[in-house]
Amino acid sequence: MKCVIIDDEPLAVDLIKEFVSKVESLELVNTFTNAIDALSIINQSNVDLIFLDIEMPHFSGIDFINAIEKKPLIIFTTAYSNYAVEGFNLGAVDYLVKPIPFHRFLKSVLRAQQIFNPQNLPVNSSPISIPEIEQDFMFVRAEYENVKLNFSDILFIEGLKDYVKIYTTDNKFTLTLISLIKLENLLSSKGFARIHRSYIINIKHVKSIQKNKVIIAEKRIPISESYKNSFFEKINL
C-alpha cells in the first residue's frame, strides 16, 4: 500500500517513518508537516493509506478529511484520546494514541490491509490477533492543558450546552468543550449510563436509586423518562 504521513510534529513523523520501513507491504510516498500542503498531492495521486494527526495548526486532520476528494484509508495518530468517536464516525481504520507502540501500529496496518485487499487472505485463515490493552482513562482539554481522567474516578458528567462538567471523586470538576453524545459513545461500555439529556453517571458510584433520581456523592441526579427504561435494563432493575 502506498502511504503518506501528515503530522506537524517532526519527531512523530520520524517514528512513523521508522515503523513504515519495517513493514514490507507499505511504500512511503511522502511526508508533510501540515495538512494544507498535502491536499493537492493527495487529490492528484494514488495514495492508499494516510497516517494523519488530528490537532494541527490552521487546518486540522478533521478539516483535511472533509476537504479531500479521494478518500484513502485513514489511520489517525494523535495525542488526544477524546477525538476517538469523531475519528471512527469519519470512517477511520483505526485511532492510535501517542506515544504509539509498534505492536499497535502493526495491528492498525494489518487491519488496513484486510480492508484494502481482503482477497489476499488465505482461505480459512483468521486475522492476526495482537493483544490490545484496555484503556481505562481519557484525556480532555481544560483551559491550556490536556487533563488525564481515570474512568474509575469520574462520578458523573453534567452537560452545559457546548461544554460539560466532569465531576470526580476528589470533589473537583473539569470543564471541557465536548458534547455529551460523544462522551456517551465513548463511555457506554465503561460502566457509565446516560440517564438524562444533561447527565451521564458512573454506575459504580451510585449509592441509591429512587423512582426518578439516583444519588451519587450526596448529589441527587434526575432520571428522565426517555432514558429510564434503558438505564434500568442496563443495571438489571
Which architecture characterizes domain 2-120 according to CATH?
Answer: 3-Layer(aba) Sandwich (3.40)
Q: At what angle do helices 10-21 and 102-116 cross, to 10 degrees?
A: 60
Kindly report, residue by residue over 22-47, the tens digit of the pLDDT: 999 899 999 999 888 888 778 777 88
- Short-list 73, 45, 42, 53, CA closest to 6: 53
CATH topology of domain 137-234: OB fold (Dihydrolipoamide Acetyltransferase, E2P) (2.40.50)
At 203 the three-state DSSP class reads helix
Contact criterion met (CB below 8 Å) for 112 and 77: no
Grid coordinates of 156: 458523573
| pTM of the shown model | 0.51
- CATH code 2.40.50.1020 region(s) in the chain: 137-234
What stretches of 58-196 show up as alpha helix (H) in DSSP?
A: 61-67, 84-89, 102-116, 180-187
Contact criterion met (CB below 8 Å) for 205 and 195: no
- CATH code 3.40.50.2300 region(s) in the chain: 2-120
Peptide bond into 99 cis (omega under 30): yes
The whole-chain average pLDDT of the chain stands at: 85
Print pLDDT tens along the chain (237 aa).
Answer: 999 999 999 989 999 999 999 999 899 999 999 888 888 778 777 889 999 998 888 888 888 888 887 788 999 888 766 555 555 566 788 888 888 889 899 999 998 988 887 554 444 444 434 344 457 888 888 877 888 899 999 999 999 988 999 999 999 999 998 889 889 988 988 999 999 999 999 999 999 998 899 999 999 999 999 999 999 998 886
What's the DSSP call for residue 237?
-
